[in-house]
Amino acid sequence: MQTIVIIDTNEPEAKDIDAFLQSYKYKTVRIHEIKKGIELTKSVLPELIVIAIESNDRETMAALLTLRKDPITKDIPIIPTIRSNDRNLLENIRKTGVHDYFVKPVNKVKFIEKIKSLLIVAREQKKDNIIFRKHHIVIENPTDAITLISFKSGMKYVLPEIRNIFNPDFLKSLIPKSVSLDIRDLPDLIMDELHILEKIIGLFGNKKISIIAGKHMGFIIASSNLEDTTNLFLSLDDYVAFLKKQATTTT
C-alpha cells in the first residue's frame, strides 16, 4: 500500500483531504506541526507528500525547501496546496523545483488524477533508487564464517532502503557469522549518519557486531555508546587480529 504524508496546520482541511485519500485505499499520515512533519516524513519515507502553504508562511516554505534538498526525501513527489494564486508564493514554490500545486478547496477530480500519475512515477523512481542505494554497500564473505559490510559513500543513501537491504532472510543468514560494518571509506560521519549506523546495528538485535571505524573512531567514542555495545576497531588489521584471538580462545 502506498503512503501519502499530509502536512497541514489547518486541521479541518487536512482531515478532509485525509478522508478523501483514504477512500481511494491510500495509507495516509496526517501531521499538523511543520517540524514534526519533516521528521516523520524522513522516518516514514512516503511515496508522496501533500503540504499546505500559506502566503508569507516562511516556516512551511523552509520545510518544503528542506524536503527538496535532503538526499533522503528529495525524490519524493510533493504537491503543495495553497490558498490563492499568489504570484510571489508560486514563484517561491517553483524555485524549490516543485511545479504542481492545487488551490484550496482543491478540485478533487483533478487532484486524484495528479496523485495517481505522480505515484506511478514515484514507484518507478523507488525501484531505481533501491538499485542506486545498494551500490553504496559492498557485502563480502572473505570466509564462510565472516561477513564484511562496507559503506562507500554515505549512510544517508542507505537509510531509505535499510529494511529492504537488511531484510529478515539476510539477517538470519548472518546469525552464525562474525559480522563487521566497515565505515572507513565514508568521507565524513555526522550525527545524523551516526544515528543511521545505530539503526542498522539495532536490526541485529542481541548479536554483537564489529565496526571498523578508521578516522571516525574518535567521533564514535565521543558521540555514542557504541564502544560498549559493539566491538570497535580502528583498522582491518585490528579486526583480523581480534578474530584470530577469538578463534584461538574457542579451540
Q: Output DSSP code: residue 72.
A: T
Name the one residue in this structure whose C-alpha cell is 543468514.
173
**DSSP letters spanning 17-71:** HHHHHHTTT-EEEEE-SHHHHHHHHHHH--SEEEEEE-TT-HHHHHHHHHHHHST
Largest Cα–Cα distance in the chain?
A: 75
- pLDDT 10s digit of each residue in the chain, 251 long? 788 999 999 999 999 999 999 999 999 999 999 888 888 887 777 889 999 998 888 889 999 998 888 877 888 899 999 988 888 889 889 988 887 899 999 999 999 999 999 998 877 766 655 444 455 777 888 777 888 888 876 777 777 777 778 888 888 888 888 999 999 888 788 898 899 899 999 999 999 999 999 989 999 999 999 999 999 999 888 898 898 888 887 65
Sign, CA torsion 33/35/38/43: negative
Element (H, E) at 161: none
Provide the 10 A C-beta neighbour count for residue 55: 12
1 burial via Cβ count (<10 Å: 0-12, 13-18, 19+): exposed
Domains of the chain and CATH, by start: 3-130 (3.40.50.2300), 135-250 (3.30.750.24)
